């Protein structure tokens, strides 16, 4: 318990001391298109887009992630999963998040409002499914945490040792959900867009129903100033699924990429 409290305290210090800095790794207008494949079979696409919006008359940055099946996979088991995050551009903290899941006959919609102002020691979350929750100050949702990670952790990558784990506190699937990102090291990878120098991280996963080990999910972020998420790999019991960048637009900096 003491180690957990210390970890949360360090995270909160980073949010408070660095969260109001000027955003430099991403900007509204950024849009990334991905392909999802299982081995040589392409079974879906993904789009991650950031744009400006307003909530209660205030400007926010709206991140929108759509993942969907295509082709034969779409005919067998249709998926349309949408995640949205409305973020305060000054603090990079979420104001509102939406999880809208459609997988076969399964449907799940969840909307959560974030109040980071009313209390000095915590945040107030209001879920349309489970009501009011008092939780950790500086908490993120599943999208805003990765924008924060790109802008505050990755620029300091030279000071992160291989094997070191970064923890980000999030609210995901309507519950408290710490994300632990273990740094593996630099790696150049091949994508359908070209070769890209990256920083590889393994989110620590729970073993059991889907994963055999704690390192069965891998993220690759571009090793330039964009720190763009370019590839994700899921190694599960039935095989490996890969999400890979295809094209992009609206980046702050030119992507450091070797074209084919």
Residue 166 falls inside a structural domain = yes
Identify the CATH number of the domain in which residue 62 sits: 2.40.360
Look at strands 194-203 and 175-191 and give their pairing: antiparallel
Residue 14 has pLDDT above 50, yes or no: no
Region 202-215 average pLDDT: 61
State the DSSP string of 96-155.
Answer: EEEEEEEETTEEEEEEEEEESSS-SSEEEEEETTTEEEEEETT-EETTHHHHHIIIIIGG
Please check whether residue 259 lies inside any domain of the structure.
no
Q: Is the pLDDT of residue 193 over 50?
A: yes
Domains in the chain: how many in total? 1
Alpha-carbon span 59 to 206, nearest angstrom? 37
- Phi first, then psi, for residue 181 (nearest 5°) are -105, 110
Residues 119-131: tens digit of each pLDDT? 999 999 999 999 9
Task: Using alpha carbons only, give the angle 88, 118, 23 rounded to the nearest 5 degrees.
Answer: 20
pLDDT value at position 183?
A: 97
Q: Does residue 135 form part of some domain? A: yes
The rounded distance, in Å, linking the Cα atoms of 69 and 37 is 10
Q: What is the pLDDT of residues 116-173, one digit of tens each?
A: 999 999 999 999 999 999 999 999 999 999 999 999 999 999 999 999 999 999 999 9
**Domain ranges, residue 175:** 2-253
Is 152 part of a structural domain of the chain? yes
**Per-residue confidence at 38, pLDDT binned at 50, 70, 90?**
confident
- Judge whether 181 lies within some domain: yes
- Could you tell me if residue 26 is inside a domain? yes
Q: How far apart are alpha carbons 245 and 198 in whole angstroms? A: 13
pLDDT of residue 182: 95
> Looking at the domain assignment, is residue 260 inside a domain?
no
Q: What is the mean pLDDT of the chain?
A: 87
Residue 147 confidence (pLDDT): 97
| Single pTM value for the model | 0.86
């Amino acid at each position: 318990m003491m180690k957990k409290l210390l970890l949360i305290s360090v995270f909160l210090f980073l949010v408070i001391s660095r969260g109001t800095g000027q955003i430099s790794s991403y900007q509204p207008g950024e849009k990334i298109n991905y392909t999802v494949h299982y081995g040589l079979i392409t079974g879906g696409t993904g789009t991650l887009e950031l744009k400006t919006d307003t909530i209660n008359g205030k400007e926010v940055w709206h991140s929108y992630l759509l993942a969907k099946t295509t082709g034969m996979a779409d005919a067998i088991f249709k998926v349309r999963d949408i995640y949205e995050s409305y973020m305060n551009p000054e603090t990079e903290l979420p104001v509102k998040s939406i999880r809208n899941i459609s997988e076969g006959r399964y449907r799940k919609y969840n909307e959560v409002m974030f109040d980071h102002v009313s209390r000095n020691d915590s945040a107030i979350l209001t879920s349309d499914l489970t009501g009011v929750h008092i939780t950790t100050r500086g908490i993120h949702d599943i999208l805003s945490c990765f924008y924060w990670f790109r802008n505050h952790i990755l620029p300091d990558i030279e000071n992160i040792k291989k094997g070191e784990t970064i923890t980000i506190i999030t609210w995901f699937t309507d519950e408290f959900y710490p994300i632990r990102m273990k740094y593996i090291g630099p790696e150049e990878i091949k994508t359908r867009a070209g070769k890209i120098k990256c920083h590889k991280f393994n989110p620590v996963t729970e073993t059991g129903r889907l994963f055999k080990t704690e390192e069965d999910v891998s993220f690759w972020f571009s090793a330039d100033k964009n720190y763009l998420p370019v590839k994700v790999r899921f190694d599960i019991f039935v095989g490996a699924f890969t999400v890979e960048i295809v094209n992009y637009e609206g980046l702050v900096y030119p992507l450091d990429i070797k074209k084919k």
